Chain A
Amino acid sequence: MHERERDLVAQFMQRQIGRRELFRRMGQMGVGAAAASYLLNTASTQVLAADFDWQAHKGKTVTLLLNKHPYTDAMIANLDNFKTLTGMDVKYDVFPEDVYFDKVTAALSSQGTQYDAFMTGAYQTWQYGPAGWLVDMNQFISDPAYTAPNYNWEDMLPNLRASTAWSGVPGEALGGEGAKQWAVPWGFELNNLAYNKPLFDKLGLGVPKNLPELIETAAKITKDAGGPYGIGVRGSRSWASIHPGFLSAYSNYGQKDFSLADGKLSAAMNTPESKAFHDLWVKMIQDSGPKNWATYTWYQVGTDLGAGASGMIYDADILGYFMNGGDNKEAGHLAYAAIAPNPEATAPTPNVWIWSLGMNAFGQQQDAAWLFVQWASGTEHGLFGARKMDFVNPVRQSVWDDQEFKDRIAAKYPGYIEQYTTSAPGSKIYFTPQPLFFNLTTEWAASLQKMVAKEVPVSEGLDQLAESVNRQLKQAGLG
């Protein structure tokens, strides 16, 4: 590398100039984009390699189990960086989300050694951790022999670090004393509004600020838009229908899933306040939700917004993000806004879904696997993904502070950064951690279906749900 080019890359690595400026000046020196990318990648590797033996496991191969996701695409696109840095090889299997967690459960429960690391959600660690299938990452994170000095664990958003750590004691707070770091946050989504801006402008609608306004706006869209329905939310018979918009709004009303007394859990879904909230939510779906709501997963919610079949969604912010691009009919027409559903609340409280990286407790090369996890969750890869790929939302504050990333998002996704900034302080997992999470949350979704279908009145449905939940908690020795 010539001296002038090396200096230029060094300036970039020290954040004295931006990526655009780097490429502009490289261009002036006659260095093409491909060559500039190569130089940059080499320099990134050198920066990462400083003061830490990344080559400790040179020649080894780590095997990953991955979900088909833009985060996975970003990782695969940058994999050469890891290989150059460590001298290691990476093999991976990618499965669609429909079957992904079945594969993980089968791979881990059989105590197989095939996979060294894998993608997981934070909720899943409440099953995998107590079962003894996961490595407690604390042993690596806190040991300088295993972790590079520039890994900067504190740079990870604190609520996400806490949300992926749990003591295993049902009902005990996430990230509390003695919590084990069952996984490392990788990318995450919080739940807010994404809406069709031209449609809102055409109908002269303002962006709803709370749930009553949301219900009213959704009803107007359904009535006046001439086709599109008002609000897209998930409704399939699955725990995945509860955790996005529904629980974000529920927690904003100060409601909880369980109450804890003397170490015993009991259902808290049938309080008068919870019933009042459920009444509002059910009415919103009945009046302005999709006709086939009971079969709606994130996929249908997202594609309806992208196709112009719905006016807005209350779901993962990144779902709205992805629908604003590609060959979606409404690409470029979507905008984003934070929402605090309770009119008396001071700020939004979005529940979060965190795609995380976990390590197989039965894996034969955990040290090598940690090198991969460390690299994949590190700042450099986070910046690469956020700037060049769709690796949003980043889990590191330094990536959110990156001007190039912010400029890119602000240019194409109006309101996205603002909805994040407004919501981030209150965004975390609002569920009570306990090992029956999937049973009881799926049953909650089934109860909602019955209420929306008017098979059972809301109050009676919630009493039945609480009774069933309490019975199951008692049977499992948790209630």
Chain B
Amino acid sequence: MSTHAVDIHANDDGHGHHHKETFVTKYIFSQDHKMIAKQYLITGTLMGIVGVMMSLMFRIQIAWPEEPNILFEALLGKWAPGGVMDADIYLALVTIHGTIMVFFVLTAGLSGTFSNLLIPYQIGARDMASGFINMLSYWIFFVSCIIMMSSLFLEAGPAAAGWTIYPPLSALPMAQPGSGWGMTLWLISMALFIAQSLLGSLNYIVTVINMRTKGMSMTRLPLTIWAFFVTAIIGVVSFPVLLSAALLLIMDRSFGTSFFLSDIFIQGEVLHYQGGSPVLFEHLFWFLGHPEVYIVILPAMGIVSEIMATNSRKPIFGYRAMVASILAIAFLSTIVWGHHMFVSGMNPFLGSVFTFTTLLIAIPSAVKAFNWITTIWKGNLQMNPAMLFSIGFVSTFITGGLTGIIVGDSALDINVHDTYFVIAHFHLVMGISAIYGMFAGIYHWYPKMFGRMMNKNLGYIHFWITAICAYGVFFPMHFIGMAGLPRRYYTNSAFPLFDDLTDVNIVITIFALIGGVVQLVYLYNFFGSIFFGKKATQNPWRSNTLEWTTPVEHVHGNWPGEIPHVYRWSYDYSKPGHDTDFVPQNVPLKEGEEELQH
């Protein structure tokens, strides 16, 4: 690992302007972690717009299945003849929505943005361990996005086998048109995505371990860094397994091997595959797939912990327990994947084991939730939009997390598996919660990223309407799930049994549409404030972490002079014996002042 970026400005007197930066090296092929963070954020936002638009389209389809819709005709063209959505494209929308939101928005958009932005800033480093690898990982991500998006324009449509791409459906073009070129592009795109994720994660791990400034011991790290660090480790451990699953699937699809396929008769002929098992694919997929939801949620947890402490003007409650629960969640996340497979045909004894490990995760999760609640107890809460989204995060995390003890219980899962109950559960606990964490992070670190403030009143409107719509969409969904409605149904009208669910589905869709439209307020605020926002001060939230000791104007190497040394943990808010209600990490201990022992 090259560390030249660390030392290169060690003796700088000024603002780093003597570096000749062209437009291309500054804005496009930048190796600066701040610029790469912004690139991830904006790319993730654009992908998010596509993902949310898709969800609105299939929600409209579920609520009003027979009615022609000009929106469909305009956006889907030949896939919505006369404005009526085709059943194959419905499945494609569901598939690409899931893929985009889980990987491109909540993994790359969230982790990529904030790990890149905050790791060097908060540990006191000039940049990432390798700026070049960092740049490389963004551009691989970019190519991966382009390939995924280009699959939308294929003649036969994009991948449509669900974001879990279970073979044989995903392996056989005769089973579904999307399993032709659409699935090929999906697999190539995901292979690149995994590559960028691994490069990024390695960089994060190396940077956190090696490049902390003087005094920044592991027990003084802000919880954000702990979360990003552990997330990167989970990514390095589990993403390669998805890569192997994708490669084996490519072999089955294109080179005639039989890893996942056996005894198949389709369209009047027997295929040659023999001896493979789709259950093997499910194991490989979920070996990443389940840690993946923690890759999504842990950074959000770190962000929320930091923002809640700052805006409560109070130390995070139970720092040690918070770190321990992050580690416990990370460890457990790698041994629970089988809870997605209780009724897959695997040995029921395995189901028992996975029920046990799965329900254990509730313990560190409960600890975290109670610690957040205790953090705001007797605080002096600054209700910035970032704080509102953090409180919203805890609320949806509890609501969604609690139903985890139903879907994680193998006996109960028999009846709710793959119904809307599951959809409601995971959207609340990792979809909405992680998005809230991301919004909270954006509102909080926007001044650091763009040197300007976002408009807080628009932020309030954005939060409250989003919060109401999120519950309006996903709370009733539990009930239609318990009524036995399976997910991924193009229309429910084939079953008169479900006719009495029509009005619930309409209510859900109306909330979804309002919730979708109100994101325009956010987009306006985000992009508008880049140019027209109020100029930010250096430390607008009166925060303790090191990023707020850097100047508002970005300089290459982060600090114009020496890197600050660290003398305390990052949560000395309202510490008795100090005049201000915050004591930044680079302020030495007063005479006789005791540092909190962890």
The answer to whether A and B interact is no
Which A residues form the contact surface with B (CB < 8 A)?
none
